[in-house]
Structure 1
Amino acid sequence: MIPTLGHFALALALAIAAAQAVIGLFGPMLRDRILLRAAPALAIAQFLMLGAAFAALVWAGVVSDFTVRNVAEFSSSTTPLFYRITGTWGNHDGSMLLWCLILSLCGATVGVFGTNIPSSLRSRVLGVLGLVSGGFLLFTLTVSDPFRRIWPPPLHGAGVNPILQDPGLAVHPPILYTGYVGFSIAFAFAVAALIEGRVDAAWGRWVRPWTLVSWVFLTAGICFGSLWSYYTLGWGGFWFWDPVENVALLPWLTGTALIHSAIVVEKREALKTWSVLLAIATFSLSLCGTFLVRSGLLNSVHAFAASPNQGLFILVLLALTIGGSLLLFAFRAPGLAATGVFAPVSREGALILNNIFLCVIAAVVFTGTMYPPFVDLLFGLQLSVGAPFYDQAVLPLTAPLILAMAVGPMLPWKRGAIGPALAKIWYGAVLALIVFAFVLFRGHAIAALGLAGAAWVIVGALVDLAERVRLFRVPPGQSFARLFTLPRAQVGAALGHLGFGVTVLGIAGMTLRVHTVTVLHPGQSVDLGGYRWTLDRISPAQGPNYQARRATITVTRHGRLVMTMRPERRFFTAQKVKTVAAAIRTNGVRNMFATFAGEDNSGGGEFRFNVHPFAPEIWLGGLIMALGGAISLSDRRFRVGAPVRSKLRKPAGSATV
């Protein structure tokens, strides 16, 4: 009964989305206040219907209603309750329902919190969101129905994929999807502005917070996904340049560029055409990622298997969304002439340079990701583009981006000079040179460049904050007080740059890692990274729905015990699947990593041991970036919206005709 109600709510949400699209897009043309007020109400109603549908699917998973095919194929009666809930979005059909739910949440958010936006623009934004939501809901109901029934139902169910039975991956998809889908708001603002034929400083002010929300979630989602890959897959890396990882990185790159270009739109009413194009491109890349993950073109641990009908439907939806928006852009773009002017050496110029490098990096990653499937589709050739290509193509483009990142915030708006900006961060350059020389002397050229760049960016971000609070130029108490009076957007931007520098520190540190793969029997040892790793024993262990073989390893240094590690090799009885559970110990600046790959007949086992310098900083930096974005969102200027010019008052005593 509950799944039937959920299916009905899903169908009703489609009807509401259609009404939202029609009323939202055509209501402003009729200038009817009732229609303008109807669009936000319809957006909220759509969210409530999809919330009911999603709750019904979760309920079916919790009670193990195996008459629902989605539950029968991706859950079981022996699966722990937590993973019966998270298994709802751990498959294609359930993840699409979650996608639609978040998309409707975006519309409802604009309807509730978009009161500072002109009613006609808000109506058109909601109309575009309703149109996009309607397309995905139609896809979900026709070829990806999560409430499809089967009879007779199985007795226990197939169970959740063992790799997905992890708390990190339970929170990773909802956060990542919120980032993906959240860019639909920026896309809707761009299309609505093109329909109205006006992009100005107010548009830049309105679009920035919505874009920033999506960027924060996407940053956190990528961070959690990388961390999950690091400790779950057991390979000891944080980024494989897997195609599905790349399609998450692409909208992050263009979304970062959009945030910076919207600042220029707000400050100088320049880059208007470019910002609108970035908003369209960012959401289009999110849709491209959806197509690649669910079309069957990519073979990845992250990808969903999909039927040809599903891939074709998404491809048509993708073509209509991207093609329609680009056609409208081609028609309206000539009228979006820039009105503001600024010198090349200025804060605006630095933001443009930032955009250039981010978009060029995105173009390189997009080419490397899409080239193999297109070659396979056109010529039947199997190609693979791996980490060596991206490392050699992306890293040279990242270096000038890092150099400019510390200088840009030191430049004034409209017109500036390089000399005074460099004078403010000269000790950052000195520190970077010292770090570079020290690490290079130890024979690590790539690490030397990365660690020097990290020092440069981190010092630059700290100097930016120090300059704003006038540190060492006024009494310390006064500087501390000024910190709390700064606009939060400025503090958040500095934290964002600081977090990026910390992440670069972690990535560069990982190039200094040492590792070994060895076979040990109880009592045997191996030396690695200044530590002695000794296998004490291999013993059985029992999990909630798996059996395991657990290795106990002691790590000593100069004869003194440092830590005890217990990696496992697990066997899930329902799915007949073996997985590894890595053992990781950290002190905040270094990770000790051990995996148990398998056991032989003589009582020994194969192990992978790693020492990862600065590895925790990879994810710490990502969280700092997300925190910086969240602090920026709390800025009062984002809450009150763009200023509205008041009409001139008539002089006292003037006649009225």
Structure 2
Amino acid sequence: MIVELGHYALVLALALSIAGAILPLYGALVGDRRLMAVAPSASLVVLVFVAFSFGALTHAYLVSDFSVRNVVENSHSLKPLIFKISGVWGNHEGSMLLWVLILALFGGLVALFGNNLPLKLKALVLAVQSAIGTAFLAFILATSNPFLRLDPAPAQGRDLNPVLQDIGLAIHPPLLYLGYVGCSISFAFAIAALIDGRIDAAWARWVRPWTLAAWVFLTLGITMGSYWAYYELGWGGWWFWDPVENASFMPWLAATALLHSAIVMEKRDALKIWTVLLAILTFSLSLLGTFLVRSGVLTSVHAFASDPARGVFILVILCLFIGGSFSLFALRAGTLAQGGLFAPISREGALVLNNLLLTAACATVLTGTLYPLALEAVTGEKISVGAPFFDMTFGPLMVPLLIAVPFGPLLAWKRGDLYAAAQRLFAAFVLVLATIVVGLALAGTGKALAVLGLALAVWLITGSLCEIAFRVKLFRAPLAESFRRASGLPRAAFGTTLAHLGLGLTVLGIVASNAWNTELITTMKPGDTVEAGGRSLTMDGFLPVSGGTYSGTAARFTVREGGAVVATLAPEKRLYTVQNMPTTESAIQTFGLSQLYVSLGDIKPDGATVVRVYWKSLVTLIWIGAVVMALGGALSLSDRRLRVGAPKPARRGAAVAAAE
């Protein structure tokens, strides 16, 4: 009965989404405040219905209701509780329901916390959000219904894909969807502004918190997915330029550009047309990623579905929203005022450079991802575009961007002084030169590119700290005054510093792990010893492992440093008996910021097995830096000036007006 109620709740949500899309839009066009007031109520009720539906599906998984086909195909009664829950979104139908739940959640949040929005703008934003919800609810009910019954019901389920039975995949999709789908709010604001014909600094102020929240979640989602691939797939790598990885990376690049563009629009009332275009582009890339993952055009460990009928339905949605939004943009862009002017050397100029390089990099990733698909569709020829292409195209675009990052916050608005900004970065210049000299002396000219990469990372890290040091007059004023100035700085200033610092840490981890990574592939038997990262690794023997729906063998390794035991590792080879699918479970030991990584090949009858041993220098900085970036975004989001509520200057202005 609960399953049927969940299905019925989706039908009701669809009906309300249709009403929430049409009535407020018509009300905004004719100026009917009563119809516009329907939007918040409809959005909140849709959220309740979709949440109930998602809860009903989760309940079916928890009680192992094998009369539901979706549960049969993706669960098993012996699975641990956490993987029963993550199984809800570890498949196409359930993940689409999660997608729509998060879409409804963001609409509900705008309805609850958008009280400072003009009624017409709020109605239009929620109407656009409801229109998106209508399309995807129709998609679920027509092609991807998670509540279909089986009669007779089987006694047992087929289990979830073994590579998805991991705590990382319990966390990764919700975070990623919060970022993916969160971009819909920026898109809705852009379409609403185009319909209304009003785009100003206040609009940018309303858009920024939603974009920033989506960016934070998208950053964390990509980070979690990267680390999951690193330790779960047993390949020893953290990024493979997989098309599905690119599908989430492209919206991140566009959202990063949108955040910086919105700053210019808010502060200087400039880049209006460009900011609206970026808002449309960001969500369009999210929709494109949804199509790529679920249409069957890509084959990947990350892909969810391979049903062409579903792909056609999503393609129609894609054409409707992307084509419609760009058509509307083409019609209305010419009517928008251009806004303020600024010199090329200024903070606005630095942010424009940031935008140009980020969008060019995004276009590069898009080209490398779609070109093989287009070529196959036209000629039937199959090719793959891998890391060499992206390294040669994406990398060179990032270098000037990373060099420019520390200059931006130190330049004045409208007209800046590049020489003065360079003077404030003197300490960063000194540390960069020291890094190059020491690095070349220790590593030699054969590692010159790696040393320059380290210098670039040091430039980002120290440059971000120089900006805060300048603002608080560190070493130029008494320490007490510097502390007073620091306490008076807005949280967004520290958030920006943290985000840029985190970027530097990630670059440092990427460069070090690639340049000083060691890899050893060898055949070992119990008693054999190999060296890695200045440590000895001895295979002690094998032991059986089992749990839930799998059984297998673990190899025990003892790690010694200077003769003393410092760690034991036990990588595994598992066989998931329900799906008869083998998996490799790597073993990782962290030493400081570096890691020793061990994975097994097939175990032979004589006890020999192929062993992959990696030493990853400073590899943890890749993910630590990404988390620091997300924390910087979250800190900025907590700034009073960026909250969704009414801006502080408006309240102060209202108080003055009341007093007069």
Q: Same fold (TM over 0.5)?
A: yes
> Which residue is equivalent to 1:490?
493
> Which residue is equivalent to 1:610?
614
Return the alpha-carbon distance in structure 2 between the equivalents of residues 574 and 61 of structure 1. 17
Helix, strand or coil at the partner of 2:17: helix
Deviation at 1:148, TM superposition (A): 1.3
Return the alpha-carbon distance in structure 2 between the equivalents of residues 355 and 646 of structure 1. 35
Return the alpha-carbon distance in structure 2 between the equivalents of residues 585 and 247 of structure 1. 31
Return the alpha-carbon distance in structure 2 between the equivalents of residues 530 and 298 of structure 1. 41
> Which residue is equivalent to 1:655?
none
Return the alpha-carbon distance in structure 2 between the equivalents of residues 384 and 439 of structure 1. 36
> Which residue is equivalent to 2:449?
446
Return the alpha-carbon distance in structure 2 between the equivalents of residues 364 and 29 of structure 1. 40
> Which residue is equivalent to 1:577?
581
Return the alpha-carbon distance in structure 2 between the equivalents of residues 649 and 219 of structure 1. 42
| Aligned-CA RMSD value | 1.6
Deviation at 1:502, TM superposition (A): 0.7
Return the alpha-carbon distance in structure 2 between the equivalents of residues 143 and 235 of structure 1. 35
> Which residue is equivalent to 1:362?
362
1:375-390 equivalences under 5 Å are 375-390=375-390
The superposition leaves residues 411-434 of structure 1 with CA deviations (integer Å, 9 ceiling, x where unpaired) of 111111111101111221221222
Deviation at 1:646, TM superposition (A): 6.8
Helix, strand or coil at the partner of 1:384: coil
Return the alpha-carbon distance in structure 2 between the equivalents of residues 501 and 272 of structure 1. 30
> Which residue is equivalent to 2:400?
400
Helix, strand or coil at the partner of 1:79: coil
Deviation at 1:469, TM superposition (A): 1.7
Deviation at 1:231, TM superposition (A): 0.7
Does the 8 Å CA contact 2:427/2:466 hold for their aligned counterparts? no
> Which residue is equivalent to 2:226?
226
Does the 8 Å CA contact 2:24/2:37 hold for their aligned counterparts? no
> CA distance change for structure 1 residues 163 and 648 in 2, over 3 Å: closer, same or farther?
closer
Helix, strand or coil at the partner of 1:340: coil
> Which residue is equivalent to 1:567?
571
Alignment of 1:474 onto 2:477 = yes
Return the alpha-carbon distance in structure 2 between the equivalents of residues 340 and 538 of structure 1. 70
> Which residue is equivalent to 2:512?
509
Code of the residue aligned with 2:459 in structure 1: it is W
1:190-201 equivalences under 5 Å are 190-201=190-201
> CA distance change for structure 1 residues 247 and 376 in 2, over 3 Å: closer, same or farther?
same
> Which residue is equivalent to 2:66?
66
Deviation at 1:629, TM superposition (A): 0.6
Q: Percent identity?
A: 51
> Which residue is equivalent to 1:267?
267
Helix, strand or coil at the partner of 1:67: coil
Alignment of 1:638 onto 2:642 = yes
Return the alpha-carbon distance in structure 2 between the equivalents of residues 360 and 300 of structure 1. 26
Deviation at 1:555, TM superposition (A): 1.7
Return the alpha-carbon distance in structure 2 between the equivalents of residues 86 and 558 of structure 1. 43
Q: Which stretch shows the higher mean deviation, 538-547 or 285-294?
A: 538-547
> Which residue is equivalent to 2:295?
295
Deviation at 1:144, TM superposition (A): 0.8
> Which residue is equivalent to 1:543?
547
Counting matched residue pairs gives: 651
Deviation at 1:483, TM superposition (A): 2.2
Code of the residue aligned with 1:571 in structure 2: it is L
Does the 8 Å CA contact 1:436/1:449 hold for their aligned counterparts? yes
Q: Which stretch shows the higher mean deviation, 537-546 or 130-139?
A: 537-546
> Which residue is equivalent to 1:525?
529
> Which residue is equivalent to 2:432?
432
Alignment of 1:557 onto 2:544 = no
Deviation at 1:477, TM superposition (A): 3.2
Return the alpha-carbon distance in structure 2 between the equivalents of residues 404 and 255 of structure 1. 19
Return the alpha-carbon distance in structure 2 between the equivalents of residues 104 and 306 of structure 1. 26
Return the alpha-carbon distance in structure 2 between the equivalents of residues 247 and 164 of structure 1. 19
Return the alpha-carbon distance in structure 2 between the equivalents of residues 50 and 430 of structure 1. 56
Deviation at 1:587, TM superposition (A): 2.9
Code of the residue aligned with 2:517 in structure 1: it is R
1:131-280 equivalences under 5 Å are 131-280=131-280
The superposition leaves residues 202-259 of structure 1 with CA deviations (integer Å, 9 ceiling, x where unpaired) of 1111100010000000000000000101110111110000000001000000100000
Return the alpha-carbon distance in structure 2 between the equivalents of residues 34 and 469 of structure 1. 51
Return the alpha-carbon distance in structure 1 between the equivalents of residues 480 and 244 of structure 2. 49
Deviation at 1:476, TM superposition (A): 2.2
Deviation at 1:171, TM superposition (A): 0.7
Deviation at 1:398, TM superposition (A): 0.7
Code of the residue aligned with 1:485 in structure 2: it is G
Code of the residue aligned with 1:133 in structure 2: it is G
Deviation at 1:557, TM superposition (A): 2.6
Deviation at 1:481, TM superposition (A): 3.5
Code of the residue aligned with 1:495 in structure 2: it is L
Helix, strand or coil at the partner of 1:66: coil
Deviation at 1:527, TM superposition (A): 1.9
Deviation at 1:498, TM superposition (A): 0.6
Q: Given the two structures, how large is their TM-score scaled by the length of structure 2?
A: 0.97
Return the alpha-carbon distance in structure 1 between the equivalents of residues 378 and 71 of structure 2. 37
Alignment of 1:338 onto 2:338 = yes
Return the alpha-carbon distance in structure 1 between the equivalents of residues 348 and 250 of structure 2. 23
Return the alpha-carbon distance in structure 2 between the equivalents of residues 278 and 31 of structure 1. 29
Deviation at 1:649, TM superposition (A): 8.3
Q: Which stretch shows the higher mean deviation, 456-465 or 29-38?
A: 29-38
Gaps of 5+ in 1: 653-657
Return the alpha-carbon distance in structure 1 between the equivalents of residues 212 and 237 of structure 2. 29
Helix, strand or coil at the partner of 1:89: coil
> CA distance change for structure 1 residues 410 and 155 in 2, over 3 Å: closer, same or farther?
same
Deviation at 1:626, TM superposition (A): 0.6
Does the 8 Å CA contact 2:234/2:584 hold for their aligned counterparts? yes
> Which residue is equivalent to 1:455?
458
Return the alpha-carbon distance in structure 1 between the equivalents of residues 351 and 66 of structure 2. 54
Return the alpha-carbon distance in structure 1 between the equivalents of residues 437 and 160 of structure 2. 51
> Which residue is equivalent to 2:319?
319
Return the alpha-carbon distance in structure 2 between the equivalents of residues 59 and 617 of structure 1. 39
Return the alpha-carbon distance in structure 2 between the equivalents of residues 388 and 100 of structure 1. 37
Return the alpha-carbon distance in structure 2 between the equivalents of residues 513 and 79 of structure 1. 37
Deviation at 1:198, TM superposition (A): 1.2
Deviation at 1:648, TM superposition (A): 12
> Which residue is equivalent to 1:128?
128
Alignment of 1:329 onto 2:332 = no
Q: Which stretch shows the higher mean deviation, 415-424 or 529-538?
A: 529-538
Code of the residue aligned with 1:556 in structure 2: it is R
Q: Which stretch shows the higher mean deviation, 30-39 or 86-95?
A: 30-39
Return the alpha-carbon distance in structure 1 between the equivalents of residues 109 and 259 of structure 2. 19
Code of the residue aligned with 1:500 in structure 2: it is L
Q: Which stretch shows the higher mean deviation, 1-10 or 579-588?
A: 579-588
Code of the residue aligned with 2:630 in structure 1: it is A
Deviation at 1:647, TM superposition (A): 13
Deviation at 1:580, TM superposition (A): 1.2
Deviation at 1:439, TM superposition (A): 3.1
Does the 8 Å CA contact 1:591/1:611 hold for their aligned counterparts? yes
> Which residue is equivalent to 1:117?
117
Helix, strand or coil at the partner of 1:571: strand
Helix, strand or coil at the partner of 2:555: strand
> Which residue is equivalent to 1:464?
467
Return the alpha-carbon distance in structure 1 between the equivalents of residues 76 and 306 of structure 2. 22
Q: Given the two structures, how large is their TM-score scaled by the length of structure 1?
A: 0.97
Helix, strand or coil at the partner of 1:551: strand
Deviation at 1:74, TM superposition (A): 0.5
Does the 8 Å CA contact 1:550/1:566 hold for their aligned counterparts? yes
